[in-house]
Structure 1
Amino acid sequence: MPVDLTFAEQAVARVGRKPDAVIPILQALQEHYGYLPEEALRRVCETSDITPAAIAGVASFYDMFRFSPTGKHVVRVCRGTACHVAGAERVEDALRRHLQIPTGGDTDRERQFTIEQVACLGTCTLAPTVKIGEATFGHTSAERVPEVMRDFLALQTEARTTQTTEATPDSDNRQSAIGYRQSVIHVGLGSCCMAKGSDKLFHALNASAAQCGGSVVVKRVGCVGMCHRTPMIEVAEAGGGGKFYADLTAAQAQALVQRHFKPRGFVQRAGRIWTRVLDGLLLDDKPEEQSVQRFSMSKRDPNVREFLDRQVHIATEHFGKLDPLDLDEYLAHGGFEALAKCVGANPNELFSLTPALSRWERENRSQVLEKSGAGVSSADSEQSTNGQSLFPLPGGEGQGEGVRQNKSEISQSLLTSAATSEQIISTIEKSGLRGRGGAGFPTGQKWRVVSQQASETKYVICNGDEGDPGAFMDRMILESFPFRVIEGLMIAAVAVGASEGIFYIRHEYPLAVRRVRAAIAELEKRGWLASGQGSSGRESAHSSAGEIGADSRPLLRMRVFEGAGAFVCGEETALIASVEGQRGMPKLRPPFPAREGLWGKPTLINNVETLAMVPWILRNGAEKFAAIGTAKSKGTKVFALAGKIRRGGLIEIPMGTTIREIVEEIGGGVGDGRKFKAVQIGGPSGGCVPARLADTPVDYESLRDVGAIMGSGGLVVLDDTSCMVDIARYFLQFTQDQSCGKCTFCRIGTKRMLDLLDRFCTGKATKQHLEDLERLAHQVGAGSLCGLGKTAPNPVLTTLKYFRDEYEAHLQGRCPAKKCSPLIHYTINTDCTGCTICAQHCPVNAIPMTPYTRHVIDDAKCTRCDTCRVVCPHNAVEVR
């Protein structure tokens, strides 16, 4: 079938014709066509400056691009750490069988479904996770696959037959102007929440609340943290306290609203009473409002208190309270106060003054405010502005000469005081804030280097390429607090003198991308960011929001750049290469990006969580932040707590909290009958810390001493069903796949290490292989250029150090955790009653149908999918 090339031409016209536009253009083509048709790629080359070689190089490097058509629906199986330990491999095998996808292929013969592996969907508390189209299904299993597919097809039917004008949870549904007499129902609408149905609950609550005549408002909020209890809502009645509910469904929305609020109007109230009477007489049912009561929860509940009490919220301040996209509500809770201090403005007038400013003042506010001389403390701010806004309203009381002066006079008066940048950076340095995305480099030190560069053009980049499988902190922060991260990036820009800010966000995080773009658009609308966030390329930093004079400088411009699926792009130089439209290949340093970064200009790159902490530090003071944590690791750290844990979720704890406190107190420990074995911290670059070292404090130095790193903050709990050799192989497989291939030790060394681990997991390894594995691990770390290669051996080295006995057991053909399929066998013991349930559910017919007779498993046919053991009602299936 011929390919319609109109869209390819439109994509080039919209995104740009320069070589650096190649990745956004390819992403647009992939989104539209489902793959990259050769005809469309040729048309891109014909209508732009992009060469065929550039397209081939980029498209073959990044995981998200494909050159063959997909089926009608794409089934994405998460293969992150939490999903792996929860059985993602078995789920994928079951999906392939159910959809009848041929061996070696990814699409069924009818071209209805295509299966793709995703490094991590960022919904780790729902592991294993599968995403079909836009629908996410959590807690899947091999035996639940038919149910998941039925549910998805039912959603498709519902979407075709139901026409609705109902707003999506991310539409303009702000509630910052909620009246004093109004009650509010807060609904968490992060990705994890919506994957468990909170978006449907949100709409159902809206419909039910409409019957109350405006006395109750349903409000979207960000992540509530307790992912293990979502969907979670809070009912805050006017003049009263809050009531919490967990695990509700859309079907219970009306009952919940009726429990707390009376419908307006006689007819509605009479109908409600009549329905309750009939239910009691005919069905002998309790009123639905009473049935909802069993889903209520209290903050005084021991499980809730244990999860929350140890936490200190800085990056996640006001969690579960703020509408992510309501700027006015963010302002009412101290938002942009830190930025106002930095630029010497009154925070109450920071945004409201925009319409009153002259054109030159609007378009040059960045330059004027940066040189205002205002300090970071309240006293400094008041002294610099005499208690007034830097830009008083024309005609207002005490407006002074500021507005009436021409631009040269204003510039001259403000140039006499240039302490703002120094004061901001000094405050960050005194706070002890270190980078929250990897090795923990001092944030203030990095800012100072960039600020000292003489270049007229500088960039600030928020690194949201959260590639660690098993981590979802950055996703949650971007989804829940986009204005907070933007404020942090704006402060960084003021401090270092940058003209453009870029958010680099994984394309696997569509909700985070949408919310950050919406937040940027709102700030552009208010006049505090230059318009045109869709621009790309080196010209965007030099273009302005309007036609301004040659001696003028534009406002800070921000835009979002979506990653294309390359873990290595979390490394700074690889990220920069990606933004420039190249393959994400790390470069030898120095020069460091702080001196020569994007387009050869000084570039500051900070992690999402790091930037989210900056406004709090400047509002509350460096000393208050430094008082939290340890001597060398200050403040708090956000962790994604997942894996074999009772209470998974998003937590923020003081540095120095021990692993044991996190796992056993906050997380509630592992499941019944299981034994806490280890935690995997730091993703593929981190290590596995055994339970016997659980009293290790979580800080940069202590984790390094035990062979792990802080990383971005993924913390996956492992129990005695987890094979540590398999975990090491999983991470080596990931890093080997994600290696850019530049370094021989990383490219070849990780492949050789993976081959050796495969031998262990299949029972073919020897003692010599054990020695070779350890030697190679040290060589790869020493001979690689970037952080990916240098730290790739960490999971192997820590498992060899702390779990060497498991490697030795594999040498003998045994897997103590009974995880490695080639080393285990399924048998049926004498407890079997011949009920045939196992035979009915076996997907490969490895169990003959022999009613009332002890069943036998054909080992040659058995795929070790574990279904028979799970469904057996008599615990008659054993794994040996």
Structure 2
Amino acid sequence: MNFDALDSQAREIIQRYDQPRAAMLPLLWLVQAELGHVPAEAEFWVGRHLGVAVSHVREVVSFYSMFRTTPGGRRELRVCTSLPCLLRGAGDVLTRIQDQLGVRAGETTPGGELTVTAVECLCACEIAPMAQLDEQFVGPLDEPGALESILRDALRPATFAPLGGAKAGEPGDACHEPEPFISTAGPVLSTRFGNADGTWFDAYVESGGYVAAKRALSMTPAQIIDEISQSNLRGLGGAGFPTAKKWSFIPKNSARPVYLVVNADEGEPGTFKDRYILERDPHALLEGMIVATYSIGSHKAYVYIRGEYFRSADRFNRAVQEAHAHGWLGTNIQGSGFDLDVVVHRGAGAYICGEETALLTSLEGGKGFPKLKPPFPAISGLFHCPTIVNNVETLACVPFILREGAERFARLGTSTQGGTRLFSVCGHVQRPGLYEAPVGVSLRELIEGHAGGVRDGRTLKAVVPGGISAKVLTASEIDVQMDFDSLMAAGSMAGSGGVIVMDDTTCMFEALQSASKFFAHESCGQCSPCREGTGWVYRILNRIAEGKGRPQDLDDLLAIARDMEGKTICVFADAAAWPVQSYITKFREEFDAHVRIGTCPARSREVAACQP
């Protein structure tokens, strides 16, 4: 193919970035939108535009799961198989899809209509079991007739853009918008979540929008950072580091450009909070970004949005255009003399890019490899310049603080963490959904009060309180507050606020097997303890599942997990080790029985009960 027709678009994309190489993923997306995949000749074209070797382009393409190097079907159905969906029957759903279409995961139907792909978490756990048909999330797929309707829609004759394109055509009646429970009561983050079509500029301003940004532009950066400090706002991406302290690390009067990078690469299984901010209240994030950039002396911000979040990126782009049109972005914002440019950058399917230094490496046009710290990003981050990386939810809290006052925000929380947060609750609950609650809410109240308790009258067995990386808690450990410090004291972590609930039908061995599959798949492979350890754990668990377990296997798993902790550049290996340690330790008898019997003990009892 002659790529000359794409040259003008490529040049326009490259101009958005401070270094050409950073346009790597956008150019690859451009090619895939045009052709449906990235052929070898396209890699030469991208390399020529960016001034990099084709070998570098090739390793980037191979690193990210959403780029295809061979043609696929006219449409693609990505079926989520991670733990939250597994708990709701994803295994059966995938089997039904394969049986009805006559193809296996990774294959395309004979007529070239549909490629079926089994993927790790899509972060739409509130509609589990779910899938993504082209750009649209569909689910729950266990509702009567839902799967059959979706497959009919996927196979129906129509003219669609190539796989991975910007638009996938008009959805059929199968692609109805799911209606999980989404909090709208606020007071901080969810007050504008009621409109599923999004809150746009006029409505945002009518509800108090940009008041905080206007106030901030009349303050000094030091005054803003002091107010954020008094609010006790902590980073809500998982680490829980005090936000104001992070901002204060930027060197004063830096001779190099200062950047704000927004981490919207939400990929932690069990978590789906940032997506609702991006889609339903994008101006709240933009307003928080204006305050943050002004406070740290930055005039350029990059928003790194997860590749699977097609609609999120589209809607946030619309908000950016609105803000430009109304003088809240660009040069001389509202006559203040402050300039700010925002670039929306899409990832391409790599969970590791949620780690802040891996995100920066990816944004610079490389594989998502984490970097050694120190130096920390505030000193040497994006393009080796001072950089602050903040999560979407963290920045969305900032307008409330500047508008309503730090004291009010602080009062909503605990003595060490202010405010509320968005809790993603999924798994075996009556009402999966997104709940805003004070950070001091108990885990019991979230499950039994907000989410309606365990479904079908079953008994609670275990809970993951902060996304799949968090150590599991038993039913007797849920009387704990959901702030960072309380959950750490309880032996787990608040993490991303993703609450995965498991009832007494859950096989904890299978749950760990699913979690370990995720970590083995998502390890970037840079550090040996992580690359080898995650694969080793998953292989041992698979062997046990095949009935070939050995008495020493469980102790070996614990030893491998122990040897992974603290031995790598980033905490991914630690996050992979924690489920192994907590699941086996807290449910040892169940794991021992799995090894001894050679199959799931719960299923063995079911089979025995059916014998004459």
Asked if TM exceeds 0.5, the reply is yes
Higher relative contact order (CA 8 A, sep 6+): 2
1:422 aligns with 2:253: no
1:153, 1:567 → 2: CA distance?
27
1:114 aligns with 2:115: yes
Give CA deviations for 1:733-754 in whole Å, capped at 9, x if unaligned: 1111111111111011111111
1:791, 1:153 → 2: CA distance?
37
Alpha-carbon distance change, 671 to 325 in structure 1, aligned in 2, over 3 angstroms: closer
1:443 aligns with 2:276: no
1:39, 1:515 → 2: CA distance?
32
Would the aligned equivalents of 1:91 and 1:142 in 2 still touch at CA under 8 Å? Answer: no
1:228 aligns with 2:180: yes
Would the aligned equivalents of 2:135 and 2:308 in 1 still touch at CA under 8 Å? Answer: no
Aligned to 1:818: 603
Aligned to 2:42: 40
Equivalent in 91, 96, 117 of residue 89 of structure 1: 91
Identity %: 36
Would the aligned equivalents of 1:470 and 1:716 in 2 still touch at CA under 8 Å? Answer: yes
Alpha-carbon distance change, 687 to 7 in structure 1, aligned in 2, over 3 angstroms: farther
Aligned to 2:282: 482
Would the aligned equivalents of 1:22 and 1:50 in 2 still touch at CA under 8 Å? Answer: no
2:428, 2:196 → 1: CA distance?
30
Would the aligned equivalents of 2:359 and 2:368 in 1 still touch at CA under 8 Å? Answer: yes
Tell me, which stretches of 5 or more residues in structure 1 are unaligned? 162-167, 169-190, 199-226, 231-306, 345-373, 375-419, 532-543, 546-551, 831-880
Would the aligned equivalents of 2:28 and 2:46 in 1 still touch at CA under 8 Å? Answer: no
Aligned to 1:267: none
Aligned to 2:559: 775
> Offset of 1:650 from its aligned partner?
0.9
Aligned to 1:659: 443
Equivalent in 302, 312, 315 of residue 189 of structure 2: 315
Alpha-carbon distance change, 597 to 714 in structure 1, aligned in 2, over 3 angstroms: same
Aligned to 2:13: 15
Give CA deviations for 1:179-212 in whole Å, capped at 9, x if unaligned: xxxxxxxxxxxx9x996437xxxxxxxxxxxxxx
1:717 aligns with 2:517: no
Would the aligned equivalents of 2:554 and 2:584 in 1 still touch at CA under 8 Å? Answer: no
Alpha-carbon distance change, 753 to 321 in structure 1, aligned in 2, over 3 angstroms: closer
2:38, 2:195 → 1: CA distance?
42
1:131, 1:643 → 2: CA distance?
19
Equivalent in 16, 28, 31 of residue 30 of structure 2: 28
Would the aligned equivalents of 1:71 and 1:113 in 2 still touch at CA under 8 Å? Answer: yes
SS at match of 2:482: coil
Would the aligned equivalents of 1:528 and 1:555 in 2 still touch at CA under 8 Å? Answer: no
SS at match of 1:627: helix
Equivalent in 553, 573, 588 of residue 789 of structure 1: 573
Paired letter, 2:111: E
Paired letter, 2:242: P
1:112, 1:88 → 2: CA distance?
22
Query: Structure 2 matches for 1:216-615, cutoff 5 A?
Result: 227-228=179-180, 312-320=186-194, 324-344=198-218, 374=219, 420-450=220-250, 452=252, 454-530=254-330, 555-615=339-399
Would the aligned equivalents of 1:684 and 1:735 in 2 still touch at CA under 8 Å? Answer: no
Alpha-carbon distance change, 828 to 564 in structure 1, aligned in 2, over 3 angstroms: same
Give CA deviations for 1:4-44 in whole Å, capped at 9, x if unaligned: 53454454333239332221111111222111112222333
1:453, 1:571 → 2: CA distance?
27
SS at match of 2:360: helix
Would the aligned equivalents of 2:122 and 2:267 in 1 still touch at CA under 8 Å? Answer: no
Would the aligned equivalents of 1:723 and 1:818 in 2 still touch at CA under 8 Å? Answer: no
Would the aligned equivalents of 2:462 and 2:475 in 1 still touch at CA under 8 Å? Answer: yes
Query: Structure 2 matches for 1:88-237, cutoff 5 A?
Result: 88-101=90-103, 105-141=106-142, 147-153=148-154, 156=156, 196-197=176-177, 227-228=179-180
Would the aligned equivalents of 2:78 and 2:132 in 1 still touch at CA under 8 Å? Answer: yes
Paired letter, 1:459: Y
Aligned to 1:255: none
Aligned to 2:164: none
Paired letter, 2:3: L
1:767, 1:630 → 2: CA distance?
46
State the TM-score, normalizing by the size of structure 2. 0.91
SS at match of 1:32: helix
What's the C-alpha RMSD, in Å, of the aligned pairs?
2.9
Give CA deviations for 1:414-462 in whole Å, capped at 9, x if unaligned: xxxxxx1111000111111110001200101001111536234101111
Give CA deviations for 1:151-198 in whole Å, capped at 9, x if unaligned: 4158x45x679xxxxxx9xxxxxxxxxxxxxxxxxxxxxx9x996437
SS at match of 2:480: coil
> Offset of 1:62 from its aligned partner?
0.9
SS at match of 2:565: helix
Paired letter, 1:447: W
Query: Structure 2 matches for 1:567-716, cutoff 5 A?
Result: 567-716=351-500
Query: Structure 2 matches for 1:54-65, cutoff 5 A?
Result: 54-65=56-67
SS at match of 1:793: helix
Q: How many residues align?
A: 595
Alpha-carbon distance change, 685 to 322 in structure 1, aligned in 2, over 3 angstroms: closer
State the TM-score, normalizing by the size of structure 1. 0.64
Tell me, which stretches of 5 or more residues in structure 2 are unaligned? 161-166
1:577, 1:338 → 2: CA distance?
32
1:824, 1:65 → 2: CA distance?
43
> Offset of 1:482 from its aligned partner?
0.6
1:5 aligns with 2:6: no
SS at match of 1:782: coil
Alpha-carbon distance change, 600 to 135 in structure 1, aligned in 2, over 3 angstroms: closer
Would the aligned equivalents of 1:325 and 1:519 in 2 still touch at CA under 8 Å? Answer: no
Would the aligned equivalents of 1:453 and 1:602 in 2 still touch at CA under 8 Å? Answer: no
Aligned to 2:514: 730
Paired letter, 1:132: L
Aligned to 1:874: none
Aligned to 1:800: 584
Say which one has the larger Rg.
Answer: 1
1:196, 1:78 → 2: CA distance?
18
Paired letter, 2:600: C
Moved more, 504-513 or 15-24: 15-24
